[in-house]
Amino acid sequence: MKDLFSNQAATYARYRPTYPQELYEWLLERVPGRERALDSATGNGQAAAALADYFTEVEATDLSEGQLAQAVQRDNIHYRVSRSEETPFPDNHFDLMTMAQAFHWMDAPRYCAEMNRVGRPGAIVACWSYKFPLAADSVVNKVIRDFYDGVTGPYWEPERRHVDNDYAELAFDFDDIETARFESVLHWKREELLGYFASWSATQKYIRLNGHSPLVHVEGPLSEVLPADVPVEVRFPLFLKAGRVRK
C-alpha cells in the first residue's frame, strides 16, 4: 500500500466528506455478529468511529502514524500501525472488515487472503469509495472539473483508474453478495471545497514537483462564482464492493 496522505493528515481529517448512514445500515443488516469489526487503512478513523456505535470492539489500522494521530477516539476502538495486507490479528476473529477510500492502493490479492484469514465464516468484507463530486451549481461544477482535469489531472497516481471503474479490475476473492450504491450529500462553502482539494494526493504530488500549491489556479475562478459565505450542494456518488469470507 502507498502512503500518500501522511503529509496532509490534518487537512484530510477536517475536509474529507463523510459516509452516509444508509451505507452502515446496509452492512449491519448482513453481518453475522456484532462482536468485532476491523477497519483497515482507517485514516482519521471516520468509518471506525461509526462502527464503534454498533460493535463491542473495533480494531483500526493504518500505515500512517500521522493519520492515526488525527483519528477519532472512542473507548472501544483500538488503533495501531499496521499494513492492511499483513495484520497481527488471529484467525477467525472479525464479523465485519471494512476499507474506505483505500482498496485501490492495496495489493488486492494479499489483502483478500488476509481478510479471509482473520474473518469468521460468513463475515462481510466491504470496500467502498466515493467518485468525483458533482456540485448542484453547474458553473461551480465547471470550475471544479477544470481544476481536476486541467491542473491536477497529470498528477494523479495510476491507481486512481480503479475508482473510476468501480474496482472492476481488482481481485476480490470473496463469495459474492448483491451490493448497492449510495450518495453523500453535503453543503459546503468555498473554504471547505478548497480544503477538500488540498487533501487530494494529486495536490500533494503537484506541490512536491513544482514547489507550490496548485490551489492558486482555482482560488480565483472559484471566488468569482461562489461567495465565501454561500454554501453549495455537493454530491459524492459512492460505490460499494462487498462479499463474504470464503472458508
Q: pLDDT tens for residues 74-129?
A: 999 999 999 999 999 999 999 999 999 999 999 999 999 999 999 999 999 999 99
Q: Are strands 36-40 and 57-62 parallel, antiparallel or unpaired?
A: parallel
Q: What is the mean pLDDT of the chain?
A: 92
Q: What is the mean pLDDT of residues 234-243?
A: 96
pLDDT > 90? residue 171: yes
Does residue 58 contact residue 37 with C-beta atoms inside 8 Å?
yes
Q: What contacts 49, CB < 8 A, 6 or more positions away?
A: 72, 74, 77
Give the whole-angstrom CA distance, residue 199 versus residue 130.
14
Domain range list for the chain: 9-245
- Domain 9-245, second-level architecture: 3-Layer(aba) Sandwich (3.40)
Of 178-182, 213-217, 226-230, 242-246, minimum mean pLDDT range:
178-182
Reply yes or no on whether the pLDDT at 6 is more than 50.
no
Q: Identify which of 84, 147, 159 has the alpha carbon closest to the alpha carbon of residue 115.
A: 84
On whether the CB atoms of residues 13 and 44 are closer than 8 A, the answer is yes
Judge whether residue 8 has pLDDT over 80.
no
**Whole-number Å distance between alpha carbons of 246 and 116:** 6
What pLDDT score does 70 carry?
Answer: 86
Asked whether the predicted pLDDT for residue 10 surpasses 80, the reply is no
Residue 214, CA distances (Å) to 146, 155, 208, 211 in order: 12, 11, 11, 10
Q: What per-residue confidence (pLDDT) applies to 12?
A: 47
Q: What is the pLDDT of residue 199?
A: 87
- Average pLDDT (146-162) is 94
Which SS3 state, helix, strand or coil, does residue 95 take?
A: strand
Set of cell numbers at residue 7: 503529509
**What pLDDT shows up at residue 114?**
98
- For every residue of 187-220, DSSP letters joined together read EE-HHHHHHHHHT-HHHHHHHHHHSS-TTHHHHH
- Residue 15 has a pLDDT of 61
> What is the DSSP secondary structure assignment for residue 147, as one 8-state letter?
I
**For a pLDDT cut of 70, what percent of the chain falls above it?**
94
